[in-house]
Each structure stands twice: as structure tokens, then as C-alpha cells.
Amino acid sequence: MATTSLDLAKVRNIGIMAHIDAGKTTTTERILYYTGVSYKIGEVHDGAATMDWMAQEQERGITITSAATTCHWPLNDTDHTINIIDTPGHVDFTVEVERSLRVLDGAVTVFDGVAGVEPQSETVWRQADRYGVPRICFVNKLDRTGAEFHRCVDMIEDRLGAQPLVMQLPIGTEMDFKGVVDLVTMKAFVWSADTKLGEAYDIVDIPDTHTEAAAEYRGKLLEAVAENDEEMMELYLEGQEPTEDQLYAAIRRVTIASGRTTEGTTVTPVFCGTAFKNKGVQPLLDAVVRYLPSPLDVDAIEGHAVNDPEQVIVRKPSEDEPMSALAFKIAADPHLGKLTFIRVYSGRLTAGTQVQNSVKGKKERIGKIYRMHANKREEIESVGAGDIVAVMGLKQTTTGETLCDPSNPVILESMDFPAPVIQVA
């Protein structure tokens, strides 16, 4: 059985948020497919197995059955673990949405390239604002008649009050949409006309038709990043071109810093494609790793003492700290029974040990611990700070409650539900 001590810098806990029908499910499926193809974890983790699983799930009309699904994506030959936390899109589940937002570090917001920013896009955006969740955007459905990438970018600015960073320019429109110009590498990513799932894209020179627009938008991108980042501003004022790595790092800093603060303007990198036609999702995965925070980008989480809500207790995302974890979802698994999804914030949690539910004041025994993948579950011995897993055996714990080291009790979330969200229609 695997004892996983993850390199936290290579972990991304993300949510995918969207107005209904924008393509959240399709985008998530494609993410699981591409990550399944690229990553082989022993036994049955190949693309075909993932697709079989998806076909079965689709027949039953469900896609993501797990509250948190773990997948892997290599960037620059380095493996990254991405935990996708299911954020219910429906406005009726506001408390549940907010609870899932609490445990993730970053999010991908999916927009319909025809409809642009829709009422629920606004709702989830405001919720992410309130929880200080850094975001990247994916303008989907660019293959559809009437799709307009730049109109959607304008709506992100006007309706959501964000500062969009245009990271790509589409090549071709509607049925002829075939690829994107990448404004960091200044290369064109082109998918073949009849892209099948799993097919990679070619990286080629920017077509002549797009060189002028690419130069213009690259200029705008550098200016916008410089406005928000001192290091880039210095280069900009000296008239120096940043290297790719400098630009990646600056966009990451800006995205995280502006997303974290609950005031001020959220700066958000914007990508595009069509999940359904399999174009644009691999670069989006690169962007998740490049620009969204790791658990280490959160300095510490604040909780409070069990008997004194005023006494602040700080826990760092480190295995040297006492264990603390938050239960964010209870699910009934058809094979395993009751599963409690938790995020571990500090320390290490080991199967078979006793922990304290500090909210209820009760001891609980941790049964088996599972990492849930798209097409299988993986039993692990223990789980460390920053990670998200499902545990069996918890009898009394409900969502929002803290599990902790019995000799170092802490409560991570107050029992008060967040204030109701005002729907901005």
C-alpha cells in the first residue's frame, strides 16, 4: 500500500466552476481523459480504461461520482497531482458550494463562448471572490455558431469586474476553429481537423494572418502584468523582454495575489477552446499547474480553540505540525458505504488511528483512507498536509467539522453558516 508523502509544491487542489451548460462536465471529462492517458499508475490506468469508465458513467447519466478526484499531469517532465473538488454548480446548494470552495486553493471558471458571462457565472465568481480563490478562465464552445472569444473577455471585465489577461488568441472561428496563438511562447498550437480524444496538438509558427494581432495582444499582456507586478514593471520600464519563465512566474504571482485578496480587482488569465471537440484542454491543464496555487502558497490556516472562539490557533501546511483536517463532504459509495471527504491542513493522518472531532467533542477512529481516481480508488496508509482524500469509518462526523490530533485540539471552521449569497442576476 502506498504511503504518499507528496511534494506539496506539485499539488493543485482545484474546483471547476461554471453556469449550467457552459461545459463544466465535458471539460472535466476531458481533463480526466488526458490526465489518464498521460499518467500510468500501475495497473489499469490507461486511456482506454478511462474511456470505458466514462462510457459507463455516461450511460448512467453521471460523470464525476466523487467529491474529489485525483489525477496527474506532467509539466516540463515533472509529475503534478491535481485534486479536482466537485463544486456543485446549482445555486440551491449554496452552503455546499461554499464548503467546497473552502477546501480548494484555485479554480477554473468555464464560460460558454456564445453566452459569455451568465447569471450563475456571476454567482460562482462572487463566491470565489468571497473565499479568495485565485482563478483562471476557459472560454469554451468556440466551435459553436456565434461564439466570440473577445466578447466573453469583455464580459469578464465588465460584468465580473475582473482584469482578464488574454493568454491565447483563437485561430479560426466557429466550425473552423482549429487552434490558438499562445501569447507567452508566441507559437501557434494547432489541433488537426478531426481531432480525436488524446491526439496531441502541433506547435508551429504563428500564421501570417495572426502575427499583427499576436504582437498587439502580447504587448497588452506584458503591460497588464507589469501594472500588477513590481518585478515585471522594472523589466518593462527598462524596455526588456521577460523570458518565458519570468513571465510565467509573474503571471502566477499576480493571479494568486489578486485572487487571494477579497478586495480589489481579481486578475485572471483567460484561455479558450472547445472541450467537446477536444481542442484547448491540454494547454488549460498546463495553466492549472503554472498559475494556480499549491497548498504551500497558503502560509497558514487560522482556527480557534475549542472552548474559546476568540483564541486564534494557526496551523501551517506542514507535516511537522499537529494533525488537523476539515470534513467537507459525506458521500455514500455504492461499494464502500459511507465516505467522508476531508482536506488535511496540517500534520499527517494515518489509517487506523484515533482522532478527535473537536466540534462534537468525540473521538473517532479513522478506517481506510482512499485516494479517488477517475476509474479506480487507491488505498493509502496515510495522508499529509495539503492533500484531499476520502476516509471510511467515521460515524459521527458531518461536513464542516474538524478532525484533529486529540492532544492538540483546534476548530478550523466556525459553526456559523456563511451569510447567504445575494444572487446577482
Would you call 170 exposed, middle or buried from its count of C-beta atoms within 10 A (0-12, 13-18, 19+)?
buried
CA distances (Å), origin 146, targets 19, 71, 150, 275, 388: 18, 34, 12, 17, 40
Q: Is 309 annotated as belonging to a binding site?
A: no
Binding flags for ligand GDP, 24-53, as an x/- string (CB under 6 A)? xxx---------------------------
Q: Is 20 annotated as belonging to a binding site?
A: yes
Binding flags for ligand GDP, 270-309, as an x/- string (CB under 6 A)? ----xxxx--------------------------------
In angstroms, what is the minimal distance from the CB of 124 to ligand GDP?
A: 11
Q: Is 23 annotated as belonging to a binding site?
A: yes
Binding flags for ligand GDP, 142-181, as an x/- string (CB under 6 A)? -xx-------------------------------------
Q: Does 22 bind ligand GDP (CB under 6 A)?
A: yes
Judged by CB under 6 A, the number of residues near ligand GDP is: 16
Dig out the grid coordinates for 168 from the structure: 491565447
- Contacting ligand GDP within 198-237 (CB under 6 A): none
Q: Does 18 bind ligand GDP (CB under 6 A)?
A: yes
Q: 313-348 b/e with 16+ CB inside 10 Å = b? A: bebbbbbebbbbbbbbbebeeeeeebbbbbbbbbbb
Residue 64 or 184 having the CB closest to ligand GDP? 64
Question: Strand (E) positions, 321-396?
Answer: 324-333, 337-346, 348-350, 354-357, 362-365, 369-372, 377-380, 382-384, 388-392
- Contacting ligand GDP within 383-402 (CB under 6 A): none
Q: Is 308 annotated as belonging to a binding site?
A: no
Dig out the grid coordinates for 311 from the structure: 483564541
The DSSP bridge partners found for residue 68 are: 85
Q: Is 317 annotated as belonging to a binding site?
A: no
Dig out the grid coordinates for 22 from the structure: 457552459
Rg over alpha carbons for the chain, rounded to the nearest Å, is 21
CA dist., res. 222 & res. 250, Å (int): 10
CA dist., res. 82 & res. 291, Å (int): 13
Q: Does 23 bind ligand GDP (CB under 6 A)?
A: yes
In angstroms, what is the minimal distance from the CB of 270 to ligand GDP?
A: 16
Q: Is 87 annotated as belonging to a binding site?
A: yes
Q: Which stretch binds ligand GDP (CB under 6 A): 136-144, 292-300, 323-331, 388-396?
A: 136-144
- Contacting ligand GDP within 258-277 (CB under 6 A): 274-277
Residue 68 or 394 having the CB closest to ligand GDP? 68
CA dist., res. 126 & res. 164, Å (int): 16
Q: Does 21 bind ligand GDP (CB under 6 A)?
A: yes
Question: Strand (E) positions, 141-243?
Answer: 163-166, 168-171, 179-182, 187-190, 202-204
In angstroms, what is the minimal distance from the CB of 110 to ligand GDP?
A: 6
| Interface ranges with ligand GDP (CB under 6 A) | 18, 20-26, 140-141, 143-144, 274-277
